[in-house]
Chains A and B, each alone.
Chain A
Amino acid sequence: MAGAFWVLVEDDRQGSPKKVTAEVLGEASRLAGQAGGEAEAVWLTDKATEEGLSQLAEWGAKRVWLIENPGLAPYRGEVWSAALADLAAKESPKAILGAVTTRQREGLARLAARLGAGLSADSVAFAIEGDKLVATRPVYAGKLTAKMTWSKGPWLATLRPNVFRPLDPQTGAKAQVERPSVTVADGQMKLVERKEEVSTGLPELAEAEIVVSGGRGLKGPENFVILEELAKVIGAAVGASRAAVDAGWRPHRFQIGQTGRTISPKLYLGFGISGAIQHLAGMRTSKVICAINKDPEAPIFKIADYGIVGDLFDVAPQLTQEFKKLLDKS
Chain B
Amino acid sequence: MKILVLVKQVPDTATQVKIAGDKKSIETAGITWIVSPYDEFAVEEALRIKEKRAQGEVVVVTLGPERAKEALRSCLAMGADRAIHLLDTAWDSADTLAAARALAAVITQEAPALVLAGRQAIDDDMGAVGAQVAELLGWPCASWIMEAVVNDAGNAIKVGRQVEGGLEVFDLPLPALCSAQKGINEPRYPTLKGIMGAKRKEIKEMKAADLGITPEPAVLSVVGLEPLPPRPPGRILTGEAADVAKELVRTLREDAKAI
Listed in ascending order, the chain A residues whose CB lies under 8 Å from chain B are 74-78, 81, 101-103, 105-107, 109-114, 116-122, 134, 137-152, 187-197, 204, 206, 210, 234, 251-253, 255, 258-260, 266-267, 276-278, 281, 284, 287-290, 296, 301-311, 314-315, 318-319, 321-323, 325-327
Assuming A189-B176, A267-B258, what are 5 further A-B pairs, CB within 8 angstroms?
A: A140-B11, A146-B224, A148-B220, A151-B219, A278-B13
Q: Is the CB of A310 within 8 A of B19?
A: no
With A145-B226, A277-B14 as given contacts, are A102 and B143 in contact (CB-CB < 8 Å)? Answer: yes
CB-defined contacts of B169 to chain A, threshold 8 Å: 191-195
CB-defined contacts of B97 to chain A, threshold 8 Å: 112-113, 116-119
B231 within 8 A of A: yes
Interface residue stretch chosen among B62-70, B72-80, B158-166, B188-196: B158-166
Closest B-chain residue to A193, C-beta based? B169
B132 within 8 A of A: yes
8 A/B residue pairs, CB under 8 Å, sorted by A:
A146-B222, A146-B225, A149-B220, A152-B219, A192-B158, A192-B171, A255-B182, A318-B246
Q: Is the CB of A307 within 8 A of B234?
A: yes
Interface hub of A187, A194, A197, A323 (most chain B Cβ within 10 A): A194
Q: Is the CB of A195 within 8 A of B160?
A: yes
Interface hub of A102, A196, A323 (most chain B Cβ within 10 A): A102
Closest B-chain residue to A111, C-beta based? B135
Closest B-chain residue to A76, C-beta based? B140
Q: Is the CB of A322 within 8 A of B249?
A: yes
Listed in ascending order, the chain B residues whose CB lies under 8 Å from chain A are 11, 13-14, 17, 19, 26, 37-38, 95-97, 100, 122-136, 139-144, 158, 160-173, 176, 181-183, 217-228, 231-232, 234-238, 241-242, 244-246, 248-249, 251-253, 256, 258-259
CB-defined contacts of A103 to chain B, threshold 8 Å: 163
CB-defined contacts of A120 to chain B, threshold 8 Å: 220
Q: Is the CB of B231 within 8 A of A321?
A: no
With A151-B218, A306-B234 as given contacts, are A139 and B134 in contact (CB-CB < 8 Å)? Answer: no
Complex: A260 Cα to B139 Cα, angstroms: 27
Q: Is the CB of A113 within 8 A of B220?
A: no
Which residue from A101, A118, A210 sits with its C-beta under 8 Å from B219?
A118
B252 CB → nearest A CB, Å: 7
CB-defined contacts of A193 to chain B, threshold 8 Å: 168-169
A-B pairs with lowest CB-CB distance, top 6: A118-B220, A318-B245, A118-B219, A109-B128, A314-B241, A113-B132
Which residue from B219, B234, B238 sits with its C-beta under 8 Å from A150?
B219
Q: Is the CB of B225 within 8 A of A145?
A: yes
Complex: A288 Cα to B97 Cα, angstroms: 36
CB-defined contacts of B133 to chain A, threshold 8 Å: 113
Complex: A282 Cα to B226 Cα, angstroms: 18
Which residue from A140, A252, A305, A326 sits with its C-beta under 8 Å from B232?
A305
With A110-B132, A141-B122, A197-B166 as given contacts, are A284 and B245 in contact (CB-CB < 8 Å)? Answer: no
Complex: A277 Cα to B169 Cα, angstroms: 33
Q: Is the CB of A188 within 8 A of B124?
A: no
Q: Is the CB of B220 within 8 A of A134?
A: no
Which residue from A121, A197, A258, A323 sits with its C-beta under 8 Å from B126?
A121
